[in-house]
Amino acid sequence: MSKSVNRLATLVSAGRAGKGIPASRSEVLVALLRKRAAAWRGGLSELEARLRNQILWSLPVEAPEDRAAASDESPSCDSSDGARDPSRPASTP
């Protein structure tokens, strides 16, 4: 009997090999969001809270110095190129 149980365990493990490993951060977030939605629908508030924390931890975090460097590298809108600044009202002739 123990040989058949070991064989079954081996087959089950082989069937799972490579599955369930997320290929990207977005796949992880999608799975967590689906689980959280199911927990919310099921009224499992403790599980939903734990999943909410996991979602927060899995979100990419940008350090303030990274944000400043990114804004320095991004092209700025000059009025010299003829483009209108969308934050300012259009002038009327």
* Residue 88 predicted with pLDDT over 60: no
Residue 39 is predicted with a pLDDT of 92
Q: What are the pLDDT digits (tens) for 23-67?
A: 788 888 988 999 999 999 999 999 999 999 999 988 887 777 777
Q: What is the CA radius of gyration of the chain?
A: 25
Token pair, residue 80, equals: 């010299």
Give me the percent of the chain exceeding a pLDDT of 90: 26
Supply the pLDDT for residue 79.
Answer: 47
Residue scoring higher pLDDT (92 or 35): 35
What confidence score (pLDDT) does residue 4 get? 76
